[in-house]
Amino acid sequence: MQFLLLVYTDPALLDALPEGEFDRWMKGCIEHADDLKREGRLLASQQLEPPATAKSVRVRQGRTQVLDGPFAETKEVLAGFNLVEADSLEEAVRMAEAFPWTRTGSIEVRPVRDFEAVRRRVGA
């Protein structure tokens, strides 16, 4: 099964890290991701640019609205993702626990829906 590990971080907690700590965490994170990739468990991963670079798009009653930045004001912001292959939700949670970002935010572990089954169901 595939799971998306959505990485949320609290910028204030990241900013409060001692000098060099972020880079040390990032190095460990990359090494962990490389291990998962070699095992065939990590399918894709990316970091996101800061929320201030984002646009939020909504269409209501035929009218499009484009807003600067994230739509919701939150303490933690979406910082990146990892798409993994795991035998169970519990295994995917264990994978998430190994990333350092759980210390300055959270990692949401969400099963990926079988989109091909949806495609077949709706006849697309």
Q: What is the domain-level CATH number for residue 116? A: 3.30.70.1060
Number of domains the chain contains: 1
Is residue 114 within 8 Å of 6, Cβ to Cβ? no
Mean per-residue pLDDT of the chain? 92
Helix (H) or strand (E) holding 121: helix 115-122
What integer pLDDT is reported at residue 57 of this predicted model?
Answer: 86
Q: Which contiguous run of DSSP H or E holds residue 91? A: helix 89-97
Query: Residue 70's pLDDT is what?
Result: 63
Domain that holds residue 114: 2-122
Q: What's the CA gap between 107 and 101, in Å, rounded?
A: 7
Given a contact cutoff of 8 angstroms between Cβ atoms, the answer to whether 45 and 83 are in contact is yes
Helical (H) or strand (E) element with 23: helix 21-38
The predicted-structure confidence for 71-94, as pLDDT tens digits, reads as follows: 666 788 899 999 999 999 999 999
* Separation in Å, CA 120 to CA 1, 46, 93: 19, 29, 30
Helix (H) or strand (E) holding 14: helix 11-15
